[in-house]
Amino acid sequence: MQWDAARYASEAAFVPQLAASLVDLLAPLPGEHILDVGCGDGALTAQIAARGCEVLGIDSSPEQLLLARARGLQVALLDAHALPYASAFDGVLSNAALHWMLDPARVLAGIWQALKPGGRLVAEMGGAGNIARIVAALNNALGRRDIDPAPLNPWYFPSPGQYATLLEAQGYTVRSLQFFERPTPFKADVGNWLTLMAVPFLNALPDDATRRAVIDEVREELRAPLLDAHGVWQLDYVRLRLVAVKASDAQR
């Protein structure tokens, strides 16, 4: 998916802001080697670097990485399904990225290989029920046009049990797993969110007129449940936050 990185930085700045406490949870120490998986424009990567770490940010979006490089960060264009590292990092951070990766077992295996024994994975992602009303409205609008939305959905939103099973199957020790609703204000129109985040659905439509019509229909369906009395859209976010450790031989 091609990102409008400048729009993301402007309209979705809340994504790293709401997850800033992840860096504290990771507790990176000076001199540690840290990998930021799905670093985007590097907002959290920069916070880790400021703590004196050797941090590498990876992302599959060249557009996002341009902004990360402009911060002076070390970054690489990589698909997290094919990480090339072995026992290279003391810690891995990932925010709002793992739910864009549709083969989670492969991603977790690559992160496992990238971690040193005793290294930790700290992550936050969308969990089961995340943006459920938005997805339902998109499905309804596309279904009315005889378009099957299922293969267009770019997201993986697991339950805590599903993700814990994946982590443990790979050999991680799960230290904590939090699952919580986080209704999130979106200051622009919900149509902006759709054109920023739901691009695979909109790209399946034949022309701009149809895309505008679908956005209008989705907006109307979401108005009652998500638009508050002050005219602010409250997105129905649900988050899964975790800390997992790659056990050292001595810990096994």
User: What pLDDT is attached to residue 9?
Assistant: 73
User: What pLDDT is attached to residue 2?
Assistant: 72
pLDDT band of 249, cuts 50, 70, 90:
very low
Question: Domain residues for 136?
Answer: 131-155+184-235
Q: Do 118 and 190 have their domain in common?
A: no
Tokens found for residue 95: 């925010």
**How many distinct structural domains can be found in the chain?**
2
Q: Do 3 and 92 have their domain in common?
A: yes
Q: Which CATH number covers residue 179?
A: 3.40.50.150
User: What pLDDT is attached to residue 15?
Assistant: 80
Q: Do 98 and 213 have their domain in common?
A: no
Please, what sign has the CA dihedral across residues 90, 95, 99, 101? Answer: negative
- Looking at every residue in the chain, the average pLDDT score rounds to 94
Q: Do 33 and 151 have their domain in common?
A: no
User: What pLDDT is attached to residue 250?
Assistant: 40
Q: Tell whether the model's pLDDT for residue 211 goes beyond 80.
A: yes
Residues 35-74 have pLDDT tens digits of 999 999 999 999 999 999 999 999 999 999 999 999 999 9
Q: Do 83 and 188 have their domain in common?
A: no
Nearest to 188 by CA among 16, 18, 11: 11
Across 193-211, average pLDDT:
96
pLDDT band of 220, cuts 50, 70, 90:
very high
Q: Tell whether the model's pLDDT for residue 252 goes beyond 60.
A: no
Across 108-127, average pLDDT:
98
- 44, 19 contact by CB (below 8 A): yes
User: What pLDDT is attached to residue 248?
Assistant: 66
Q: Tell whether the model's pLDDT for residue 8 goes beyond 80.
A: no
Share of the chain above pLDDT 90, in %: 89
**CA dist., res. 60 & res. 123, Å (int):** 18
Task: Name the more confident of 1 and 58.
Answer: 58
Q: Do 31 and 56 have their domain in common?
A: yes
Q: Do 136 and 115 have their domain in common?
A: no
Q: Do 87 and 179 have their domain in common?
A: yes
Residue 245: count other Cβ atoms within 10 Å of its Cβ: 20
Residues 171-186 have pLDDT tens digits of 999 999 999 999 999 9
Write b or e for each residue in 202-236: b if 16 or more Cβ atoms lie within 10 A of its Cβ, otherwise e: bebbeeeeebeebbebbbebbeeebeeeeeebbbb
Q: Tell whether the model's pLDDT for residue 205 goes beyond 70.
A: yes
pLDDT band of 1, cuts 50, 70, 90:
low
User: What pLDDT is attached to residue 19?
Assistant: 78
Q: Do 199 and 218 have their domain in common?
A: yes
Q: Do 29 and 87 have their domain in common?
A: yes
Q: Do 78 and 200 have their domain in common?
A: no
Q: Do 172 and 90 have their domain in common?
A: yes
pTM of the predicted model, to two decimals? 0.93
Across 10-39, average pLDDT:
89
